[in-house]
Amino acid sequence: MFFVCVVARIAHMACVLFVFAMFCAIVVAGFISGAETAVTSASRTYLYHLAKKGDVRAKKVMFLQENMSSSIGTILVMNQFVLYLVPIGSTLFAVKYLSGAETAVLQAALAILLAIYAEIFPKMLAIKFTAPFALFVAPFILGAVNFLRPVISILESCAKFSLKLIGIKIDEKKPDDQADEELRGAIEMRPSDGDEEEAQKKSMLKSILDLEEVSVSHIMVHRKNLRTINVSLPIEKIAEELGSCSFSRIPLWQDNPENIVGILKSKVFFQALQLQNGNLEKIKINNLISAPWFIPETTHLLDQLQNFRKKREHFALVVDEYGDLQGCITLKDILEEIVGEMVDEHDTLTNGIRVQPDGSVMVDGATPVRDLNRQFDWNLPEEDAATIAGYIMHEVRKIPDAGQIYVLSGMKIEVLRRQRNQISLVRLIPPAKQ
């Protein structure tokens, strides 16, 4: 009787120890599984913000993300080790204390518990609280990465060699274009819910990213619309031209309108006039002008914005590959690409775009394609032409007559007015209105 009691007590203790061991194994496996999801999903921008504030845990998470292959390798090795111990422990316990049917029930129960509490539950928790979870597990995972580094290095080498055999090269750094597209996607996913202010923020963020892709030729003031003054004119005539002009900087030409010899600032001219007590004859115009700044038409807006800051200038002349004048660009033009049109007391309120009651859009031929895409969320190509007139002529390979209708990029386009060799007015009908 005593022997039976001892055996029963031993069996009872073994059962308690087995349950405790399985519970610990499932908890550890769940912790590791959740750590994998949290570390890989944590926002790098948010982590960077915390790291700048001095959060050591955020720096550790960023280190794990920067060394993703080592981090994932360590997590998987630990997870596989724990999951390997579970069937071994359950098998040893079942062989000694359970029958065949009881063993099957035990294995099924463990499989269900592992699926729920070692995989599904921790991953759901990590997705719900990604950043806090990642910050919590980072010290433990980083410690494991350092401890298992020799083993992980061997396993990584084997994996990379296997991938190399089939022609795949591993590079943990993301291409710049992929990083940009991820950032664009994050901006697009930001909910606006019809909020005009929120939509404006999204538009501004996307425009900032576009600065390094759009050249100055797409937004410059074309030479046809450029206000210039002949430097050879009498000083009285120059003063009259400046007085009737709303621009702060005026290019001066000599002999040929495209031969720009200098830039005259209205403020400088009238300050000099004031110093001379209004005596125009004492003003030497050549002493007031500054050297013109010429830039290639292929210059990207981001580079030009930085150049404006470095030179502390707001105005540049745009030339093509042959040095011929194409137009001008100002700091205000670039800023308007980000924040939208800025109208002051001297600007007109029209932008050449008029929405009709039937849903069609009347557009001046000189309207930039980028303005249309931004205002109506269209996707008209911007690579080959800056204006809608240029886009039409590029696509049809000729100068169309008034009344001709085309379907380009799914958009029905009707040429309404043509002046000599220039398309001056078109009607755009989006696919939804056709």
Domain with CATH 3.10.580.10 in the chain: 216-339
Domain 216-339: assigned CATH number = 3.10.580.10
Q: What is the DSSP letter of 300?
A: B
How is residue 330 written in tokens?
């100002």
Alpha helices in 295-405 (DSSP H): 301-311, 331-339, 369-376, 388-396
| Res 116: pLDDT | 92
| Res 160: pLDDT | 80
Answer for the pair 367, 387: CB distance below 8 angstroms, yes or no: yes
| Res 2: pLDDT | 33
| Res 340: pLDDT | 73
How is residue 264 written in tokens?
């005259």
> Burial letters for 254-286: b for 16+ Cβ neighbours within 10 Å, e otherwise?
eeeeeebebbbbeebbeebbeeeeeeeeebebe
| Res 346: pLDDT | 52
Please count the residues of the chain: 434
Please write the tens of the pLDDT for every residue from 316-336.
Answer: 999 998 889 999 999 988 988
Alpha carbon 297 to its chain's center: 24
CATH class of 353-433: alpha beta
How is residue 104 written in tokens?
């099957």
Give the sheet arrangement for strand 221-222, strand by strand: 221-222, 325-330, 315-319, 294-296
Find, among 432, 428, 384, 386, the residue nearest to 408 by Cα: 428
Answer for the pair 416, 402: CB distance below 8 angstroms, yes or no: yes
The DSSP code sequence of 77-93 is HHHHHHHHHHHHHHHHH
| Res 434: pLDDT | 58
Domain with CATH 3.30.465.10 in the chain: 353-433
| Res 221: pLDDT | 87
Per-10-residue mean pLDDT, the chain, length 434: 42 78 90 91 86 90 88 89 86 82 86 90 91 92 90 84 79 58 70 69 79 87 88 89 85 90 91 85 87 93 93 92 91 85 56 82 87 83 85 90 89 88 88 67
Find, among 144, 130, 136, the residue nearest to 72 by Cα: 144
Answer for the pair 317, 292: CB distance below 8 angstroms, yes or no: yes
| Res 5: pLDDT | 44
Give the number of other CB atoms < 10 A from CB of residue 139: 13
Answer for the pair 59, 51: CB distance below 8 angstroms, yes or no: yes
Helical pair 130-147 and 121-128, crossing angle rounded to 10 deg: 120
